Chains A and B, each alone.
Chain A
Amino acid sequence: MPQYRSIFKDETKLDINFVPYRLPHRNRELHLLMEFFSFALQFPERMTQRVMITGDVGTGKTVLSQRFGADITREANKRGVNLRYVHVNCREYRGSLFLILHHIVSIFHPNFPKRGYSAEELLRMLLRILDDESTYVILALDEFESLIEREGSEAVYKLTRLQEIRQNKPQRLSLVCILRNLKAIEQLDASTRSTLQSNIITLEKYSKEQLIDILNDRVSLAFKPSTVPEDTVSLIGELAFSEAGNARFGIELLWRAGKYADAEDLGVVTPECVRKAVSSIYPAVRKNDLAFLSLHEKLFLLGIAKFLKESQKAYISLAEAEQAYAVACEEFNENSHSHTQLWKYLQNLSNVSILKTEVSVIGSRGRSTIIYLPRISAHELEKELWALLEKGQE
């Protein structure tokens, strides 16, 4: 019986909920968060903190907060401080303050009833529980926008000013509000806004190189050695960068490409696996888009698809594409068009997102255009184009 051998060492390291020990390119922000909360390790009862983390999808907001939560909890426990980090995705609780608070209370009292009191009463109960158990909580409200949308200023105000109704009692609840951009905060009234806006950590979109570092980190955690070539990581980095620097997208793509490699028992994650993975995430290039291409655009694309499929490379240079196009023209008894004409085809194909181009610097010889297929497997594309071209000859 053939033995099943996977290229994965531990695929859970690519799971959306996995929090890596190291956060490449987010160290500065992690230190800043630790700085904001350094009091929590020394004098937790004397103050609370409110921090906002903002950034686009896949910029590492959630993982940054969770890494911070794990680190500070461990440090606090070492010092004998009873600190808990609670991460709540507000959207999961439909932005309801009541449901969010109930979730927190049920961490301490798992069978706490769901009916019979208001959110405000629940907040008071939570503080009593924290007093009883001498516990401090850092509450991370992920997708904070949905809480604002549903509850408005009132709920946020309650959360941020609750100490004012507890004069001379230990301060218990700090907040980390995680949101995509600060526009949502504009909906709040001025006094609520002012309680939130003092500490803001903005996460910039990852560059392609940063995404490649992140992917390499995950590759070493999740895959067996030498199963993911540099070329593949670079292609995924490129694709994730074109998706607004979305690291989460890149990591998911890496996992999916690994699955395709395993399914075909390749022993290595090839760029073609990545292209298949992308077309399984996105709707693949529509047949209509291909049908509307001119004959020579189809031939040009066919040459590129064949080259990428056979070479198992992630990219093809324009010079290589021209050669591949010439071969395709021969196969269909067509005279090949000039370089200038091909350049126009390339722009057109790029505009309709069937392929993408990038200018790369090769050694000291200057700039060169490289081409890659972002959304469709080379194999699939070749098949579609053959079918269309043969139909055109009939």
Chain B
Amino acid sequence: MNLEDVFCSKLRMKILKIIAQVGELNVSEIARRLGANYQTTSTHLKILEDEGILQHKVFGRIRLYRLNEHSPKAKAVQKLIDAWEHANKQ
């Protein structure tokens, strides 16, 4: 996927922001914080995972998503969000 295709979605940007801030979260909680339904959230999470930005771990029925620590894309996303938040605070 092209950069613009990944980042054109407001929900995907919000997902990245939430995960960058809290570190790790399960699908239902991400959906709750987004104000979106479970299915929509899952779809966006899958897209971000397919791009290598996110990774997940399964514990029974629970999927915990986090930034993929081995991915340069994830590192760039984390830096972008940190810089953005920092600049907004100043």
Contacts and interface: CB of A to CB of B under 8 A. Distances in A.
B61 A117 contact: yes
Nearest to A118: B60
A110 interface: yes
Q: Chain A interface: which size bin? A: 10 to 19
A125 B59 contact: yes
A206 to B, nearest CB: 44
B62 interface: yes
A111 B63 CA distance: 12
A108 to B, nearest CB: 10
A117 B23 contact: no
Contacts of A109: 24, 64
A111 B60 contact: no
B29 interface: yes
Q: Chain B interface: which size bin? A: 10 to 19
A39 interface: no
Interface in B55-69: 57, 59-62, 64
A109 B29 CA distance: 14
A112 interface: yes
Contact of A111 (B23, B57, B59): B23
Contact of B60 (A110, A117, A132): A117
Interface string A112-135: 110011000100110011001000
B18 to A, nearest CB: 10
Contacts of A112: 26, 59, 62, 64
B85 to A, nearest CB: 19
Contacts of B22: 110-111
Contact of A113 (B23, B26, B57): B26
Interface in A74-115: 109-113
B60 A113 contact: no
A113 B24 contact: no
B17 to A, nearest CB: 15
B23 A110 contact: yes
Interface of B: 22-26, 28-29, 57, 59-62, 64
11 contacts: A109-B64, A110-B24, A111-B23, A111-B26, A112-B26, A112-B64, A113-B26, A113-B28, A117-B60, A117-B61, A125-B62
The 5 A-B residue pairs whose C-beta atoms are closest, nearest first, are A125-B59, A113-B26, A111-B25, A121-B60, A111-B24
